[in-house]
Structure 1
């Protein structure tokens, strides 16, 4: 993935000790150093906000960011947002808490991998009414949306959702079915952005070994540029 030099990675789990990503500052520093091998030194950190599993708040997220910044190299650029699970807990937060955005009005959201929320349309509508422009994380990984006609994906796009592809979905890391859907979404020009979703060193090591065909590289180039433009 030597295409991403100068890129801002806006979906990752590098902040120490607050979700299922990096457990401590030392590990976070190792991950940042590894990213440097790709020419990536700018990050928006997006820990999970997920009901009782990862009940993060702007306060816990900014505290972890401050801890990392105090230990890291000064040339690394960091900010923080979150990856919000679209569920009832998020609906309840909307009136009381200002959600963290990755850039401008763009907010990163996800769904359960088991099934879409029953009230998905209501959640999307309410978030948009609050001024959020939604980027749906790793749409290729929601198996319940997979179909030959991409109908469910088209519906989400028509509702104003942007799609962010995980870099590792270009490999068989999540399985061949996920990889196949990743390329199908790319071929149908449904992917808007790309990011790492890195949780651990293994993820970054696997990125180094992804082999892409020239046609695939050409499909990715405008998506990488658009991702950069979020932070221009």
Structure 2
């Protein structure tokens, strides 16, 4: 598996507070089959060209040097689109040095002109990968389809696959309509796991979709290749909700 979204670079945002907190999670991810993990600390687009990248690079190298049992670690950012017309072309903003840019909308709301901004980014030469669309207030499958048509790839959070309320309902609808390109853990130093999502998808009879969502398309993004559309998931049975929670808590 390839996980393109996590907050395990310690002490820089609301994720892992220290190297010692990140190491057991990295070891668990490796045991679950995650081969590549991109560390994506939060960054505002308005600060993208002035960030002290050398500082983050040093913190990253320290994590790598301490992570004996871990996936291959790569660098990236989760970039909040807090200003219009942001320039995200700098190479250090990419996921593992690729043209892909993990982006999110500010304040968990759908901003006016969202599709236009995603299209502008795509036309500037980068590939916007929109993080967790299921969490944005006002998001719908129709809007997500519009964002994909504008050139964005769509990344679902693993823990939201069977979340409760409107967020979980939208996450499942996006999977059932084939509007998700990849799933990532978005781990913040907690139990969130890409491996749990993949195992659950396989148990639900969606083996091919599981492979596409947890490896193939992420691999293609990091290689500057176009994502491949993922077949819609069959309707998710209610009985699978409790099973996903068991997997998330490590009850295999």
Fold-level similarity (TM above 0.5): yes
Aligned length: 219
1:160 corresponds to which of 148, 151, 156: 151
Displacement, 1:79?
Answer: 1.3
Equivalent-residue separation in structure 1 for 2:104 and 2:11 (angstroms):
21
Please give the root-mean-square deviation of Cα atoms over the aligned residues, in Å.
3.1
3-state SS in 1 of match to 2:79 = strand
The CA deviation string for residues 166-203 of structure 1, in whole angstroms up to 9 with x for no partner, is 1111122xx33222211211111111111110112232
Q: Note the residue ranges of structure 2 that are not aligned, 5 or more in a row.
A: 224-252
Q: Note closer, same or farther for the CA distance 1:127–1:81 as it changes in structure 2 (3 Å cut).
A: same
The CA deviation string for residues 52-93 of structure 1, in whole angstroms up to 9 with x for no partner, is 9999543332122112012111764111010100121x7455
The CA deviation string for residues 94-114 of structure 1, in whole angstroms up to 9 with x for no partner, is 48x555111531111111354
Q: Note closer, same or farther for the CA distance 1:117–1:107 as it changes in structure 2 (3 Å cut).
A: same
Matched ranges for 1:197-216 at <5 A: 197-204=186-193, 207=196, 211-212=200-201, 214-216=204-206
Equivalent-residue separation in structure 2 for 1:41 and 1:155 (angstroms):
32
2:6 corresponds to which of 6, 9, 12: 12
Matched ranges for 1:66-215 at <5 A: 66-73=61-68, 76-88=71-83, 91=85, 94=88, 98-103=91-96, 104-146=98-140, 150-172=141-163, 175-204=164-193, 207=196, 211-212=200-201, 214-215=204-205
CA contact (8 A) 1:82 1:108 kept: yes
Equivalent-residue separation in structure 2 for 1:206 and 1:34 (angstroms):
10
Q: Note closer, same or farther for the CA distance 1:93–1:36 as it changes in structure 2 (3 Å cut).
A: same
Equivalent-residue separation in structure 2 for 1:126 and 1:16 (angstroms):
32
Q: Note closer, same or farther for the CA distance 1:92–1:111 as it changes in structure 2 (3 Å cut).
A: closer
Q: Note closer, same or farther for the CA distance 1:37–1:98 as it changes in structure 2 (3 Å cut).
A: closer
Give the TM-score of the pair, scaled to structure 1: 0.79
CA contact (8 A) 1:13 1:199 kept: yes
Equivalent-residue separation in structure 2 for 1:53 and 1:204 (angstroms):
30
